[in-house]
C-alpha cells in the first residue's frame, strides 16, 4: 500500500515501504543490467538519491556467476544497494526470443530466494496487434499464473502485470482479476510498443481503464515508460512508478534526453536543459571524448534529466498546479496533445477525485483548460444548487461588471457573469476557481446551460432559475426595483447551497444572522446565527464548518448526506477529537469529494464532530492505513 501524503486528483505523492525500505512516489526505478553496469546502484543512491531500482531475474538466473552470487550473498549485496530492488521475470525476453525454458513458478521462487523486495510473475506479453482472442487468452493465463504464484511468494511483494493489448474491456477485466488477488504491486504491461510509436492516446485509454478498476491504495507502475516527456501526464492519471533503461539506451546512440524531446548530441549547438554532465560550456569537449567515456557522461545526464522531471512533477502536485503543468508539457508533441484531449474525455470519472478548491489559482493555459474536470464540476454543481426566484435575468460580460454594480444592490434580478470558464451567478463570483482564476483578456467566453443572449434554451433556463419569465432583458426599464438587497446574505446562502447542498443556506441562516468581515480586506470571515458561530469563510470563498453549523446540517439532511460513518471501535476516540483512520470508516456519502467538509457520525447516525475528508469513498474503502478525515470540532460530551 501507498501512504498518500499530498494529492491532486488522481496524482499523489506517497510513501511506499517494503522490508523496512521506503521510497517517495512518484518515483523512477532505473533499470540495472547486472552484466553491463554503466552507473552503479551505489552511485545512484549516493549521488542521485535513488531509493528503488529494477533488475532482471532472468538475466541473473541464466548467468552462473551472477546466480551463485545472488543466491549466496543476496541480491542487495550483489548489487551493493540497500534500497528497494524490484526484479522483472523475463517476460519481455520470453516474448521476443520465444521459450526461455523457465517454469513461471520457478521464476517466482528464484526471485524470492535471492531476496528481491518486489518480484514479478512471468506474465504473457500482449502486443498491440494481437487479436481480441489472443489478448483475452493472455489476460486469463496471466491471472492463472498470478493466482498460483501468490501461494509460493512468501513475504516477498508480488507484482501482477495487467495485460489486455489495446482492448479497454480486457484491460478492465485484467485489472479486476488481478485486484481480486490483493497483490502488493500492479504494473501495467504491454505499452512499450505504443510508447515507441507515439501512440500516447492509446496509452491513456489503457491506463484509465486500469486505474478505474484497481484499488486506489495500491501502487501502479507503467512498465517501460522511460521518457520524461510522458511522465507528467502519466502521473496525472495516477501512475506511481516508472522504470527506465532509456537513460542508457539513448546514451549508447549519442542521443540526449530532455524533458520535452530527444536530440542527437552532434546536432546540438546549445543545451536547452543543462546538467553538470552536459551543458553549453562542455558540449564540444563531450563530443570529442572517446565513445565509452562519452556514453557514460550522456547516461548520467539522461538519468539526471529524468529525475529532475519527477521532482518538478512532485512540486506541481504539492503546489496544486499539476493540471497547468501537464497542459504545458503536452504541447511539446502533437501526439501528447491528442493524448491530453483523450484524457479529458474521462472528466466525468475524474470529477470524483477533484476537490472544490486548490491552494494555487486556476491558470488558464489554453482552450483545453475549460475541459478540466473541475470546470465541468463547477457547472454541474451550479445547476444543482443555485435556486433563487427572480423575475429577470441579466447576463453580463466581465468588462461590464463594474458598470453593473450600481444595479446589483438595487434591482431584484439574477446577475450572471460570462467568463471563459462559464456563466456564473454573481453570488458565487468569490469562490474557487472563479475569483482565483487567472484568465486572459481575449479568451472566448464559455457558455453553460445555453445561456446565450442571441439564442437561448428557455426550458433549461426556467428549470434552473425556477421562475424566470421567457424574456431575457438588459434594459433597466424592465428590471424590477427592490429595497436595497443584502448581498452578503445572498452570497452566504448561495455558497452554502453550492458547498453543502440545496437548502443548506436557508436552514443555516434561520434566525438572527451576524456576518463578520475583515477590517483590513472587507471580506466575509465569520457567520453567527443566534449568537452561535456556525461558519468561517476561507480565502477560497468556501466555508469551514463549525460544530454548531454541523448540528444544523445533520438535522437538515438525511443519512448518508455529508456523513462519514465510523465504526464502534473508533467512535470513542473520535469523540475526543482524534482523527479518523481508513480502517475505521464503515460508510461515507459517495458524493463527497477530497477536502470536503464532513459530518462525522457513528453507526446510529449520531453526530460526533465536524472536519474534512482527504479522500472520496472509492478511495477510502480500499485504503488500509493512514488518516482520512481530520476532525476539527466535536460535540461536548454532555450534549
* Residues annotated as part of the active site: 88
Question: Can you tell me whether residue 637 is helix, strand or coil?
Answer: coil
Q: Which residue has the cell 554503466?
A: 38
Task: Answer for the pair 574, 603: CB distance below 8 angstroms, yes or no.
Answer: no
Question: Which is nearest to 337 in space by CA: 210, 233, 443, 188?
Answer: 233
DSSP 403-419: HHHHHHTTB-SEEEEEE
CA distance 376 to 359: 19
Helix axes 41-48, 291-319, angle to 10 degrees: 50
Task: Answer for the pair 441, 419: CB distance below 8 angstroms, yes or no.
Answer: no
Question: Which is nearest to 409 in space by CA: 500, 482, 306?
Answer: 482
Task: Classify strands 524-529 and 513-517 as parallel, antiparallel or unpaired.
Answer: antiparallel
**How many helices and strands in the chain, by DSSP H and E?**
25, 28
CA distance 594 to 614: 5
Task: Answer for the pair 11, 324: CB distance below 8 angstroms, yes or no.
Answer: no
| Three-class DSSP labels, 484-535 | CCCHHHHHHHHHHHHHHCCCHHHHHCCCCEEEEECCCCCCEEEEEECCEEEE
**∠ Cα 132 134 140 (to 5°):** 100
Q: Going by C-beta distance under 8 Å and a sequence separation of 6 or more, which residues neighbour residue 120? A: 57, 86, 87, 88, 89, 91, 111, 158, 159, 161, 187
CA distance 634 to 639: 10
Spell out where 26-172 has E strands: 27-32, 52-56, 84-88, 118-120, 157-159
Task: Answer for the pair 368, 446: CB distance below 8 angstroms, yes or no.
Answer: no
Element (H, E) at 595: none
CA distance 604 to 620: 20
DSSP 7-60: EETTEEEEEEEETTEEEEESEEEEEE-TTS-SS-HHHHHHHH---EEEEEHHHH
Give backbone dihedrals phi and psi of 2, rounded to 5 degrees, phi first: -105, 130
CA distance 613 to 563: 10
Q: Which residue has the cell 488481478?
A: 178
145 to 109, 113, 148, 166, 443: CA distances (angstroms): 13, 19, 5, 21, 54
Task: Answer for the pair 424, 377: CB distance below 8 angstroms, yes or no.
Answer: no
Amino acid at each position: 500500500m501507498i501512504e498518500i501524503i499530498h494529492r491532486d486528483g488522481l496524482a499523489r505523492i506517497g510513501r511506499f515501504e517494503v522490508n523496512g525500505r521506503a521510497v517517495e512516489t512518484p518515483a523512477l526505478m532505473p533499470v540495472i543490467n547486472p552484466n553491463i553496469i554503466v552507473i552503479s546502484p551505489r552511485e545512484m543512491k549516493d549521488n542521485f538519491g535513488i531509493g528503488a531500482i529494477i533488475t532482471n531475474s532472468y538475466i541473473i538466473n541464466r548467468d552462473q556467476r551472477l546466480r551463485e552470487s545472488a543466491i549466496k550473498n543476496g541480491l542487495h549485496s550483489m548489487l551493493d544497494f540497500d534500497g528497494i530492488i524490484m526484479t522483472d521475470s523475463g517476460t519481455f525476453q520470453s516474448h521476443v526470443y520465444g521459450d526461455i525454458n523457465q517454469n513461471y513458478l520457478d521464476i517466482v521462487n528464484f526471485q524470492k530466494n535471492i531476496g528481491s523486495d518486489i518480484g514479478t510473475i512471468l506474465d504473457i506479453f500482449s502486443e498491440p496487434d494481437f487479436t481480441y482472442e489472443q489478448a483475452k487468452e493472455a489476460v486469463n493465463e496471466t491471472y492463472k499464473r498470478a493466482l498460483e504464484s501468490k501461494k509460493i511468494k512468501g513475504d516477498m511483494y508480488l507484482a501482477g502485470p495487467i495485460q489486455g493489448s489495446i482492448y479497454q474491456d480486457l484491460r478492465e477485466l485484467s485489472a479486476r482479476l488481478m485486484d481480486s488477488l490483493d497483490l502488493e504491486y500492479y504494473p501495467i504491461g504491454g505499452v512499450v510498443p505504443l510508447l515507441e510509436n507515439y501512440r500516447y492516446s492509446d496509452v491513456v485509454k489503457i491506463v484509465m481503464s486500469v486505474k478505474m478498476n484497481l484499488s486506489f491504495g495500491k501502487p501502479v507502475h507503467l512498465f517501460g515508460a522511460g521518457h520524461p516527456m510522458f511522465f507528467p501526464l502519466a502521473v496525472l492519471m495516477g501512475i506511481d512508478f516508472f522504470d527506465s533503461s532509456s537513460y542508457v539506451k539513448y546514451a549508447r546512440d549519442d542521443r540526449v534526453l530532455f524533458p520535452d524531446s530527444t536530440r542527437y548530441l552532434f546536432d546540438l549547438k546549445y543545451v536547452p536543459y543543462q546538467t553538470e554532465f552536459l551543458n553549453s560550456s562542455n558540449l564540444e569537449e563531450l563530443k570529442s571524448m572517446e565513445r565509452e567515456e562519452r556514453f557514460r557522461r550522456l547516461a548520467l545526464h539522461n538519468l539526471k534529466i529524468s529525475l529532475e522531471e519527477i521532482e518538478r512533477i512532485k512540486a506541481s502536485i504539492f503546489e496544486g498546479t499539476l493540471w497547468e503543468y501537464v497542459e504545458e508539457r503536452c504541447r511539446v508533441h502533437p501526439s501528447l496533445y491528442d493524448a491530453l484531449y483523450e484524457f479529458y474525455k474521462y472528466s466525468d470519472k475524474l470529477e470524483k477525485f477533484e476537490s472544490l478548491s486548490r491552494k494555487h489559482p486556476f491558470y488558464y493555459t489554453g482552450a483545453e483548460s475549460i475541459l478540466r474536470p473541475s470546470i465541468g464540476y463547477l457547472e454541474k454543481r451550479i445547476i444543482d444548487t443555485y435556486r433563487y426566484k427572480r423575475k429577470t435575468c441579466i447576463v453580463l460580460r466581465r468588462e461590464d461588471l463594474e458598470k453593473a454594480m450600481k444595479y446589483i444592490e438595487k434591482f431584484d434580478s439574477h446577475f450572471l457573469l460570462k467568463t471563459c470558464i462559464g456563466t456564473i451567478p454573481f453570488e458565487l463570483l468569490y469562490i474557487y476557481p472563479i475569483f482565483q482564476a487567472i484568465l486572459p483578456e481575449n479568451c472566448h467566453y464559455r457558455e453553460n446551460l445555453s445561456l446565450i443572449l442571441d439564442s437561448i434554451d428557455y426550458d433549461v433556463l426556467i428549470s434552473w432559475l425556477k421562475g424566470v419569465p421567457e424574456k431575457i432583458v438588459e434594459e433597466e426599464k424592465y428590471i424590477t426595483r427592490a429595497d436595497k438587497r443584502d448581498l452578503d446574505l445572498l452570497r452566504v446562502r448561495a455558497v452554502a447551497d453550492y458547498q453543502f447542498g440545496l437548502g443548506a443556506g436557508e436552514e443555516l441562516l434561520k434566525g438572527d444572522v451576524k456576518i463578520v468581515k475583515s477590517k483590513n480586506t472587507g471580506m466575509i470571515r465569520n457567520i453567527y446565527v443566534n449568537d452561535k458561530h456556525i461558519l468561517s469563510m476561507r480565502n477560497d470563498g468556501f466555508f469551514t464548518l463549525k460544530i454548531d453549523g454541523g448540528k444544523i446540517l445533520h438535522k437538515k439532511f438525511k443519512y448518508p448526506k455529508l456523513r462519514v460513518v465510523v465504526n464502534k471501535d473508533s467512535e470513542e476516540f473520535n469523540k475526543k477529537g482524534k482523527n479518523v483512520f481508513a480502517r475505521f470508516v464503515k460508510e461515507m456519502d459517495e458524493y463527497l469529494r477530497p477536502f470536503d467538509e464532513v459530518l462525522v457520525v457513528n453507526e446510529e447516525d449520531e453526530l460526533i464532530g465536524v472536519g474534512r475528508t482527504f479522500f472520496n469513498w472509492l478511495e477510502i474503502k480500499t485504503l488500509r492505513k493512514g488518516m482520512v478525515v481530520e476532525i476539527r470540532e466535536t460535540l461536548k460530551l454532555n450534549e
